[in-house]
Amino acid sequence: MDHTPDSVVRRWFSEVWNAGREDAVWQLMAPDALVHGLGDEPMIGPAQFIGYFRAMHGALRPIDVTVVRTVVDGEMVVAHCHVTARHSGPTLGGPPTGQTADFWGMTMARVVDGQIVEGWNCFDFLTMFQQFGWVRNPVTPQP
């Protein structure tokens, strides 16, 4: 199995997000990994990340994260991602709208021995919430 940073981050999005494999979180994330940018505080390890994964995966089905490009520098990899999903479950704090989402984001991860040991995330969740109708887009004309 290829343990390069590029391969690990591509497997992360393919297996964890697209295939919904919770076991892949435990395989690809180090036990003490730090995850930034997905909540108020960094998450530590798979045990804390699993709650976030379940909430997102419970609300966004199907979800497809396409890694459009990566840039690698030693242990570091940046992945530019395109996300499409349908809001089909209640686990984001409101009833499912059935609306689709189409947005972009980036992850920077440090990979050691085939596992993510630290990750920084910047995804355009504001656009996702606007597409669900939960947040008004101030530049879109209102009826």
Is residue 63, in this structure, part of any structural domain at all? Answer: yes
Is the residue at 141 inside a domain? no
Domain with 38 in it: what CATH number? 3.10.450.50
Name the band, by pLDDT with cuts 50, 70 and 90, for residue 1. confident
Tracing tokens 């109708």 back to the chain, one arrives at 133
- Residue 142 resides in a domain: no
Query: Is the sign of the CA dihedral 84, 120, 72, 56 positive or negative?
Result: negative
Look at residue 97 and tell me if it is in a domain: yes
Look at residue 128 and tell me whether its pLDDT is greater than 90: yes
Give the chain's domain count: 1
pLDDT above 90 covers a percentage of the chain that reads 92
Distance of alpha carbon 53 from alpha carbon 48, whole angstroms = 9
pLDDT over 70 percentage in the chain: 99
The range of the structural domain enclosing residue 67 comes to 5-132
Q: Is 128 contained in some domain?
A: yes
- In the sheet where 76-87 sits, what is the strand order? 43-44, 29-36, 115-123, 100-112, 76-87, 60-73
Residue 37: what pLDDT? Answer: 97
**Residue 34: inside a domain, yes or no?**
yes
In a domain, 75, yes or no: yes
- Asked whether residue 137 is assigned to any structural domain, the reply reads no
Q: What pLDDT score does 97 carry?
A: 96
Residue 143 has pLDDT above 90, yes or no: no
pLDDT confidence tier of residue 137, bands split at 50, 70 and 90: confident
The secondary structure of residue 95, as a DSSP letter, is: -
pTM exceeding the 0.85 threshold for the entire prediction: yes
| Per-residue pLDDT tens over the stretch 31-70 | 999 999 999 999 999 999 999 999 999 999 999 999 999 9
Residue with tokens 């940018």: 37
> CA 11, 41, 49, 66 torsion: positive or negative?
negative
